[in-house]
Structure 1
Amino acid sequence: MKGLKSLNQLLWLQRSLVRMRWYFLTRFWGMDIAKSSVYSMSVKFDRTHPKGIHIGEDSYVAFDVAILSHDMVRAMKVDTYIGDNCFIGARSIILPGVKVGNGSIVGSGSVVTKDVPAGSIVAGNPAKVLQSNIKVGRFGVLIKEEAAKVA
């Protein structure tokens, strides 16, 4: 095992690839993604209406999340917003036209069908508000005194 490298040693490569993808998504597809946001390479951004994707500053979107901005059945092309300092959990789906308020957390595997108020934790299918008036830091990390209340 002496020759194996830690995956953390390749973090620079992952960040470089995400930065290149950001450039492509914002310049070629016209998405509104803040430069300080972080997202997994496996996030599915809707390319049917790419200009309808908006992600705020210091937000984190985990792996296999789908962010939609169109609905073929209802012939809708709408804007979908994720605010500043949000965390979107793995394998969540954000439906078209939804606004996730600043400082909110979306639990893993959630299906967000309605707007999420700022400073809220939502989870489930469909996502429901579990807690309001939370305080988060950068990338939607729950502040310690808030974490004690949730537990």
Structure 2
Amino acid sequence: MMKFWDVVRADLRANAGHAKMLKLLPTFIFNPGFAAIFLHRVACRLRQGGVIRRRLGLLVWRWNVGRSACHINLDSDIAPGLFLPHPTGIVIGSGARIGAGTTIYQSVTIGKTASPQYPVIGADCVLYPNALVIGPLTIGDRAIVGAGTVVLKDVPADSVVAGNPGRLLRVGKAEEPAARPA
């Protein structure tokens, strides 16, 4: 398990293009995506302490929800390097798991159906605006979910899914174009 500040550095790198702790405060002030995930990490860290720290963690979480309009549940499992380019209206449910280096755009919902299981999002995925990822499903590593897509079934790694309901547009890695003869 990574140390707290190593996770923060990964989030800094993903959201601001650097991992310089000396630039933490200006990045927090001027980069809303980093601010949202940083406050989420702080709230989660505080929840690991005693009663007063847990209550302070809930207060930080509530303040973050109000300031960022992102409802990232404290019981979700988010790997380092989450990139939030436009962090407004994002909802991540309590049991959701999100892999390292994932990008989530505005108004994305990651939630569950009547099943108690939440989605598992692989590493280096991209979820474009207004995507709904609902139910006990897995999105494979490096998959792309198009804008406005409703995902109700598993998505294989290196795939592209779009539409309502989501359907696979590409499965596996895109082929490299053949080299042209000189």
Please indicate, yes or no, whether the TM-score normalized by the shorter chain is above 0.5.
yes
Matched to 1:30, the amino acid is D
Matched to 1:97, the amino acid is P
Quick check: 2:37–2:82 contact (8 Å CA) kept in 1? Answer: no
Q: TM-score, normalised by structure 1?
A: 0.70
Write out aligned runs for 1:52-131 (5 A). 52-69=95-112, 71=113, 74=114, 76-131=115-170
Is the helix fraction higher in 1 or 2?
Answer: 2
Quick check: 1:93–1:111 contact (8 Å CA) kept in 2? Answer: yes
Asked if 1:24 corresponds to 2:24, the answer is no
Q: Summarize deviations over 1:6-60 as a string: whole Å, max 9, x none.
A: xx9x8642123331124436765221001211232421122xxx1x110000000
Matched to 2:78, the amino acid is I
Task: Identify unmatched segments of 5+ residues in structure 2.
Answer: 1-15, 17-25, 48-73, 178-182
Q: Summarize deviations over 1:100-136 as a string: whole Å, max 9, x none.
A: 000100000000010000110000011011012226x
CA–CA distance in 2 between the matches of 1:16 and 1:130?
34
1:55–1:130 Cα change, 3 Å: same
Equivalent position SS for 1:16: helix
CA–CA distance in 2 between the matches of 1:93 and 1:26?
28
Q: TM-score, normalised by structure 2?
A: 0.59
Whose relative contact order is higher, 1 or 2, with alpha carbons under 8 Å and at least 6 apart?
A: 1
Alignment identity in percent? Answer: 26
Tell me the matched-pair count.
122
Is the strand fraction higher in 1 or 2?
Answer: 1
Indicate the RMSD between aligned Cα atoms, in angstroms. 2.5
Asked if 1:42 corresponds to 2:61, the answer is no
